[in-house]
Structure 1
């Protein structure tokens, strides 16, 4: 009685096509931020933290490297990161270029191959906006192709939460994502 049953803080989640470790305090969400989302989860404490699994057809492709280099592939996923919609004259407040109120920085990029030989592209990015909300957003991406389908895990975490331990949840989810 009284023992911790899940000391790692993750719930093993398995689907027919993929599996991942879901942070135990993240709940299913019906929101759909992008097209082709098959599942979405968000932190039950702070909705700024969420994960989405996206599935898109890529006819004739059997590996993510057939969609380009990691850098080229990332450019094709720019819809995940948003684009500055506002235009106008600004001063260089908060380190932004004149006329700009947002910035996206690539912090890390790597490739991994699972035990079955499936290749994954992994990314870590940080976006900032002039409103300063949360100090920005950490964005994690893992992408792989199997049977003509592209699977993308997109995770977003507020910067203030990132440094209070949510980084472990987000990285644990991204790095555990595996195609069946």
Structure 2
């Protein structure tokens, strides 16, 4: 098992489409780092009790506004934990041009980005096995196409289709400091 090659503190953004393994990988990574936080960006979406606008293929302006609010809140929380001396593993779905914008939202450095990019057919199987469902009107193939064609190639991109979460975390710990640093 690789050692912890990440320097602390840092902010590590783990992104990818739904069912890519973000939650599991982020939690295991945070547990393996000293003085760390696992920050789930989606928690800020779920805090909206009334008036929440969900992202759909026919996205409305209010849904985009709430998504960007969620990203801003997550970035601010990550910065606050970082300022307190924690390594932050921030997990969220940040795709397309929003990924470059997120680099600007998070002011803490070093900032590392890890994009989990399993094959869409693997994601579809994972989605069927999950108790939570997140796709709604989206399909894994639609989101994967957006990930691969519209998302800037920032940080470390991993095809974790054939890896266990532990193997993915091992690879992150081995490669992230040299391949995932941005900004």
Q: In which range does the TM-score fall when normalised by the shorter chain?
A: under 0.3
Q: Which has the higher strand share?
A: 1
Decide which structure has the larger Cα Rg and report it.
Answer: 1
Scaled by the length of structure 1, the TM-score of the pair is 0.25
